[in-house]
Structure 1
Amino acid sequence: MRMRHRPLRALVADRHGLALIEFALVLPVLLTLVFYGIEIANFTLARQRVSQLALQVADNASRIGVQEVLRNRPITERQINDLFTGGALQGGSLDVASKGRIILSGLTVNSSGGQWIQWQRCFGSMAFASNYGTEGTGANGTAFKGMGPSTAKVTASATGPVVFAELAVAYTPIISTAWAPATTISEIASFAVRDDRDTSGSGIRNDENAPVSRCN
């Protein structure tokens, strides 16, 4: 028996399975958009958490100090260590201790009236250096203009110092860092010190011989 072949015209006109083919072509694009949207949403939430934690650390640093009656309130190395421990606990799954870095700076006014990073302390294993200066920057003269972006410098006043916090965390993706805007999230925050603080000497007392959380 001779086989009958469908005419080529009928084959071209056949629309069976067309929707399935179209879906197969569109699916990679849809998945790309979905994955990108999920990663962007997760990145945004993580950045918000980092920003809030930086604010919390700076706020707490502006409040610490040993209560004394006869002189301005000094801060201690132990208080700073406790502050870092509290920040790590508040950070929770951000895992600041092993995947992040907190850089806390005490910004004050030097003898020439210029801005001076009198002290700087760090916490966390991440390799991340301050973008705005290290301890001792601005000790002399007035060339150093303060900490923060060039368009929004934070400065101390003659009546009170400022604490400046930088927080960086390695971003943990849901899918892949290839979908994220960056692999590291960094935020800054600053607060004027709430009480009259003792900035004599190094600016930090260590009568208890506590470990010093230096940045190097």
Structure 2
Amino acid sequence: MSAPVRLFRTLRRETRGLALLEFALCLPFLIIATLWAFEFANYVLVRQQISQLALQVSDNAARIGTLTSVQTQIDEKQINDLFTGANLQGGSLDLAHNGRIILTSLEVDDGQPHGQYLHWQRCYGALVYPSSYGRQGDGKGNSSVKGMGPSDAKIVAVADAPAMFVEIAYQYQPIISARIAPSALMHEVAAMMVRDNRDTSDPGINSVNGVQPSAC
């Protein structure tokens, strides 16, 4: 038997490095799967945090105001404080730079045909993202607005209770790579009905000297 044949048979029977070879072949796939699992778990947690934050902002927006003898009035400073609080609550999300909060007062139009309309709208955050459900003034004097939100779950206001509708758009910040994240942009919505007798007369939000409105 020739030397090459004997060498081939010896190598074929040799199994001491088989496990190491199999591990070396599987290691890249194992690393990719582990990194994807970490990124996906972080993505889910961030999305849940954004959703909860949207609910918190809408709840706070439904509660704020200064009680007068008859009605509750809100002003630009209270709206700005609301946004600042949301950014602080978001912590490392840094909504001021990576996100956009859109707060809309959905109300019933006092004039004909008494439909839904977007009385006022305020925004916060550097992310360029327009509202997915309309702009300030939409629906005034017409019935073009049927509510706000997804088509199968629209929020509508009633005559004595505006709805504080919140949208939060967020540019996801990956911990490993955006290539393995499900999506780069998150968008969550929430709404709460105003609980008190809020003053809805124009402009809806009172101005305050020295305070810059958070216009959209």
Counterpart CA distance in 2 for 1:117 and 1:66 is: 22
Counterpart CA distance in 1 for 2:211 and 2:7 is: 90
Counterpart CA distance in 1 for 2:84 and 2:11 is: 72
Q: Is the 8 A contact 2:77 2:208 kept in 1?
A: no
TM superposition shift of 1:9? 2.1
SS in structure 1 at match of 2:72: coil
TM-score (norm 1): 0.94
1:163 maps onto 2:152 in alignment: no
TM superposition shift of 1:12? 1.9
Map of 1:116 onto structure 2: 117
Q: Is the 8 A contact 2:171 2:184 kept in 1?
A: yes
Map of 1:154 onto structure 2: 155
Counterpart CA distance in 2 for 1:8 and 1:94 is: 60
Q: Is the 8 A contact 1:78 1:208 kept in 2?
A: no
SS in structure 2 at match of 1:164: strand
TM-score (norm 2): 0.94
Q: Output one character per residue of 1:123-143: Cα deviation in whole Å (capped at 9) or x when no partner.
A: 111111111111111112222
Letter in 2 for 1:139: K
Structure 2 segments unaligned to the other structure (5+ residues)? none
Q: After the TM superposition, list the runs of 4 or more consecutive aligned residues in structure 1 that deviate by more than 3 angstroms.
A: 3-7
1:78 maps onto 2:77 in alignment: yes
Map of 1:199 onto structure 2: 200
Map of 2:27 onto structure 1: 27
Q: Output one character per residue of 1:52-75: Cα deviation in whole Å (capped at 9) or x when no partner.
A: 111111110000111101x32111
SS in structure 1 at match of 2:67: coil
Map of 2:140 onto structure 1: 139
Structure 1 segments unaligned to the other structure (5+ residues)? none
How has the CA–CA distance of structure 1 residues 198 and 209 changed in structure 2, closer, same or farther, with 3 Å as cutoff?
Answer: farther
Counterpart CA distance in 1 for 2:184 and 2:192 is: 27
Once superposed, what is the RMSD of the aligned Cα atoms?
1.5
Map of 1:211 onto structure 2: 212
Counterpart CA distance in 2 for 1:209 and 1:7 is: 89
Counterpart CA distance in 1 for 2:12 and 2:208 is: 89
TM superposition shift of 1:194? 1.0
Aligned residues: 212
Letter in 2 for 1:47: R
Map of 1:93 onto structure 2: 92
Indicate the larger mover: 147-156 or 10-19: 10-19
SS in structure 2 at match of 1:104: strand
SS in structure 2 at match of 1:55: helix
Q: Output one character per residue of 1:117-162: Cα deviation in whole Å (capped at 9) or x when no partner.
A: 0000001111111111111111122221111000100100112110
Letter in 1 for 2:23: F
Q: How high is the sequence identity, in percent, across the aligned residues? A: 49
How has the CA–CA distance of structure 1 residues 109 and 209 changed in structure 2, closer, same or farther, with 3 Å as cutoff?
Answer: farther
TM superposition shift of 1:207? 4.5
Letter in 1 for 2:86: G
Indicate the larger mover: 204-213 or 36-45: 204-213
